[in-house]
């Protein structure tokens, strides 16, 4: 490789490859190439050059994978949000490459790539072996930071790209999704390092094997253990012969612009009610509506709850909740359950709110911020999980994008929880990859906590995921889109699992915290070594 232009070209291709690993199109194998390509391009680029290359790759990746933001109903706001969020997310891969360059002892000056590659190839076998693991540690530490800083945006961690590789995703039950991110990055940088050695020392036929031995062994062990865990869970389910809870999931597929329109409230309710009446013919135990009020005013709520009560069916739905207080009081985005008598039996108030979509940050100190969005005062955040008792089973509800926060979902799963119940409205984003990416992220919450996840959405993907991350069923008959209106009956095994009994559910992001601590320790060693040299 020669010249800044070629480095930039590799970074751009790496970002594109990385983006294509997620749904839309979702070629999972490409994720194993992207970190190594970025590391390869940054060799000898210096700290500042490495940051620019990482930012470039991250910007391409974010703009491609988050393109669904452009489908939001307000074009100007959608464009601004897409550019701002993409630019923000790109900072993190930039920091990763800059941290790696600093750890290698590179300064500000640009070195020829061949010289930097030769220096790497000349390292002894033990040192070369640890370089990819150190890079993967840095990746996970910075990835965790993105999911925590400023309330966090953990959407599409690197490991999420592997969501369909069922034996592999079992690792998340121990380490969380960050364990897969570490494994993918470790192997990717190891392969890139092997390529560098092969190019720099072509006569050493097997010298390149030093980098890939450990990650390859870890990958094989992960696959073997994951396959065993899946088979063991299947055996336990067969032997337990659990009761099947019948849930009718209603997907109205109402465009977001119509949900906002007061003139369309009765029409929205009519669609949801029509689908509900069709669902009642399947004799469900519970009917579930997605996030959104769908015209549920006082009269419509009374008529629907009475109809379901006559059928002896329980109901879960979403609506705004209000709490009186000084001044205007507080509003919440909430989920409710009703018993067979039609009375409200459970309430859950959403805990994680969408910035500028459900609340305005710093609105108290900076009142003018409210003028930047149409939401006014927005919502207040709830303060605790809830347990809905549904036909003898226990469900823990989550709303909207709460399911993309790994550590946050741990609070919702306790002993006796039969399944997570997600109500969401992805109709904001039209018909694009957002719905599939949301599902891919949500799958890991089921695996991490060892519990089934039922998803009811306004606009795809409605269905349920078992505790091993397998999508057991989803709405969308052959020849139809998962985005179309409809309903489906799912039968979820209840009363037999050990929800919340996985290592991750008990201990949380121990791996990610260890990676952050390791980065701090390596940084301290680097600073002390530099002082001694001075």
> Bridge-partner residues for 145, per DSSP?
none
350 is catalytic: yes
pLDDT of residue 533: 80
What CA–CA distance (Å, rounded) separates 407 from 225?
A: 24
Beta-carbon contacts of 401 under 8 Å, excluding residues fewer than 6 positions away, are 155, 352, 354, 424, 438
Written as six digits, the tokens of 357 are 């979509």
pLDDT of residue 37: 98
**Pair 482, 243: CB distance under 8 Å:** no
In a shared domain, residues 205 and 267:
no
In a shared domain, residues 93 and 223:
yes
Residue 375 located in a structural domain: no
pLDDT of residue 188: 98
DSSP state of 111: -
Residue 484 located in a structural domain: yes
In a shared domain, residues 259 and 196:
no
pLDDT of residue 151: 86
What CA–CA distance (Å, rounded) separates 180 from 194?
A: 21
Question: Rounded mean pLDDT of 467-475?
Answer: 95
Radius of gyration of the chain (CA): 25
Catalytic option among 400, 402, 448, 515: 400
pLDDT at residue 354 is higher than 80: yes
Residue 360 located in a structural domain: no
Question: Rounded mean pLDDT of 87-97?
Answer: 98
Question: Rounded mean pLDDT of 79-89?
Answer: 94
Q: Is 349 helix (H, G, I), strand (E, B) or coil?
A: strand
- Signed CA dihedral, 359, 361, 362, 363: sign only: negative
In a shared domain, residues 57 and 192:
yes
In the structure, what pLDDT confidence band is assigned to residue 370 with cuts at 50, 70 and 90?
Answer: low
Residue 377 located in a structural domain: no
In a shared domain, residues 321 and 177:
no
Enter the pTM of the model. 0.94
Residue 326 or 525, more confident: 525
pLDDT of residue 155: 97
Residue 39 located in a structural domain: yes
Containing structural domain, residue 307: 242-353+388-501
In a shared domain, residues 344 and 463:
yes
- The gap from C-alpha 15 to its chain's centroid, in whole angstroms, comes to 19
In sequence order, what DSSP letters do the residues of 155-192 get, joined into one string? TT-GGGGGTT-HHHHTTHHHH-HHHHHHHHHHHHHHHH
Residue 368 or 290, more confident: 290
- Strands (E) located in 123-264: 243-251
In a shared domain, residues 144 and 285:
no
pLDDT of residue 532: 85
Residue 168 located in a structural domain: yes
Tell me the percentage of the chain whose pLDDT exceeds 90: 72
Lowest mean pLDDT among 80-94, 150-164, 202-216, 291-305: 202-216
Q: Please state, rounded to an integer, the average pLDDT across all residues of the chain.
A: 91
**Pair 412, 266: CB distance under 8 Å:** no
In a shared domain, residues 82 and 9:
yes
pLDDT of residue 356: 67
Distances (CA, A) of 122 to 115, 116, 131, 192, 198: 11, 10, 13, 15, 12
Residue 324 or 296, more confident: 296
185 is catalytic: no
In the structure, what pLDDT confidence band is assigned to residue 9 with cuts at 50, 70 and 90?
Answer: very high
Q: H or E stretch including 231?
A: helix 209-240
In a shared domain, residues 110 and 249:
no
> Bridge-partner residues for 394, per DSSP?
389
Catalytic option among 106, 211, 233, 291: 291
- The gap from C-alpha 302 to its chain's centroid, in whole angstroms, comes to 36
Beta-carbon contacts of 398 under 8 Å, excluding residues fewer than 6 positions away, are 409, 412, 420, 421, 422, 423
pLDDT at residue 2 is higher than 70: no
Residue 36 located in a structural domain: yes
Residue 373 located in a structural domain: no
DSSP state of 438: H
In a shared domain, residues 79 and 176:
yes
What CA–CA distance (Å, rounded) separates 38 from 53?
A: 8
**Pair 499, 416: CB distance under 8 Å:** yes
Taking Cα atoms as reference points, which of 273, 341, 348, 347 lies closest to residue 313? 341
Dump pLDDT digits (tens) for 203-262: 776 767 778 999 999 999 999 999 999 999 999 999 999 999 999 999 999 988 888 788
Taking Cα atoms as reference points, which of 499, 514, 447, 500 lies closest to residue 222? 447
What CA–CA distance (Å, rounded) separates 458 from 68?
A: 16
pLDDT of residue 207: 67
How buried is 396 (Cβ within 10 angstroms: 0-12 exposed, 13-18 middle, 19+ buried)? buried
pLDDT of residue 476: 81
In a shared domain, residues 10 and 135:
yes
Structural domains in the chain (count): 2
Taking Cα atoms as reference points, which of 340, 303, 336 lies closest to residue 318? 336
In a shared domain, residues 44 and 165:
yes
What CA–CA distance (Å, rounded) separates 271 from 351?
A: 29
370 is catalytic: no
CATH of the domain at 457: 3.60.110.10
pLDDT at residue 365 is higher than 60: no
In the structure, what pLDDT confidence band is assigned to residue 200 with cuts at 50, 70 and 90?
Answer: confident
Residue 127 or 504, more confident: 504
Task: Compute the residue count for the chain.
Answer: 534
**Pair 450, 505: CB distance under 8 Å:** yes
Question: Rounded mean pLDDT of 476-483?
Answer: 76
Catalytic option among 106, 211, 314, 350: 350
What CA–CA distance (Å, rounded) separates 531 from 534?
A: 5
Helix 91-103 and helix 46-65: axis angle, to 10°?
Answer: 150
What CA–CA distance (Å, rounded) separates 492 from 136?
A: 37
**Pair 425, 291: CB distance under 8 Å:** yes
In the structure, what pLDDT confidence band is assigned to residue 512 with cuts at 50, 70 and 90?
Answer: very high
């Amino acid at each position: 490789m020669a010249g800044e232009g070629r480095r930039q070209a590799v970074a751009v291709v790496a970002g594109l490859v990385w983006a294509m690993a997620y749904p839309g199109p979702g070629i999972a194998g490409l994720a194993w190439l992207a970190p190594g390509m970025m590391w390869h391009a940054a060799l000898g680029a210096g700290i500042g050059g490495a940051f620019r290359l990482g930012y470039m790759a991250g910007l391409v990746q974010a703009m491609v994978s988050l393109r669904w933001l452009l489908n939001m109903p307000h074009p100007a706001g959608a464009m601004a949000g897409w550019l701002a969020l993409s630019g923000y997310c790109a900072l993190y891969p930039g920091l990763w490459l800059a941290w790696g360059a600093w750890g290698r002892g590179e300064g500000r000056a640009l070195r020829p790539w061949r010289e930097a590659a030769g220096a790497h190839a000349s390292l002894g076998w033990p040192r070369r072996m640890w370089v990819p693991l150190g890079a993967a540690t840095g990746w996970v530490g910075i990835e965790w930071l993105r999911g925590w800083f400023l309330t966090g945006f953990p959407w599409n961690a690197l490991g999420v790209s592997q969501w369909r590789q069922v034996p592999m995703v079992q690792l998340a039950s121990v380490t969380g999704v960050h364990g897969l991110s570490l494994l993918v990055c470790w192997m990717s940088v190891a392969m890139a390092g092997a390529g560098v050695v092969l190019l720099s020392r072509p006569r050493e036929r097997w010298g390149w094997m030093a980098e890939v031995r450990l990650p390859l062994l870890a990958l094989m062990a992960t696959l073997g253990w994951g396959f065993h865990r899946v088979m063991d869970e299947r055996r336990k389910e067969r032997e337990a012969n659990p009761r099947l809870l019948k849930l009718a999931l209603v997907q109205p597929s109402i465009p977001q612009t119509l949900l906002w329109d007061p003139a369309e409230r009765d029409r929205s309710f009519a669609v949801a009610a029509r689908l509900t009446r069709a669902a009642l013919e399947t004799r469900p135990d519970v009917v579930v509506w997605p996030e959104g009020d769908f015209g549920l005013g006082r009269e419509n709520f009374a008529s629907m709850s009475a109809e379901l009560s006559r059928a002896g069916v329980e109901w879960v739905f979403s609506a705004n909740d209000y709490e009186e207080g000084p001044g205007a009081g507080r509003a919440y985005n909430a989920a409710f359950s009703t018993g067979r008598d039609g009375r409200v039996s459970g309430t859950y108030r959403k805990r994680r709110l969408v910035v500028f979509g459900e609340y305005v940050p710093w609105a108290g100190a900076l009142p003018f911020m409210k003028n930047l969005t149409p939401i006014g005062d927005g919502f207040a955040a709830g303060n605790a999980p809830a347990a809905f008792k549904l036909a003898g089973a226990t469900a823990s509800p989550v709303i909207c994008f709460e399911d993309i926060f790994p550590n946050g979902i741990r609070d919702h799963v306790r002993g006796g929880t039969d399944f997570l119940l997600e109500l969401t409205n992805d109709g904001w984003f039209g018909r694009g990859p957002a719905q599939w990416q949301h599902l891919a992220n949500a799958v890991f919450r089921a695996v991490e906590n060892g519990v089934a996840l039922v998803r009811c959405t306004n606009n795809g993907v409605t269905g349920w995921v078992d505790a091993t991350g397998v999508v057991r069923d989803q709405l969308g008959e052959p020849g139809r889109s998962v985005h179309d209106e409809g309903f489906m009956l799912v039968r979820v095994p209840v009363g037999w699992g050990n929800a919340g009994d996985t290592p991750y559910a008990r201990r949380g992001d121990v791996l990610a915290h260890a990676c952050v601590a390791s980065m701090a320790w390596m940084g301290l060693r680097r600073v002390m070594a530099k002082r001694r040299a001075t």
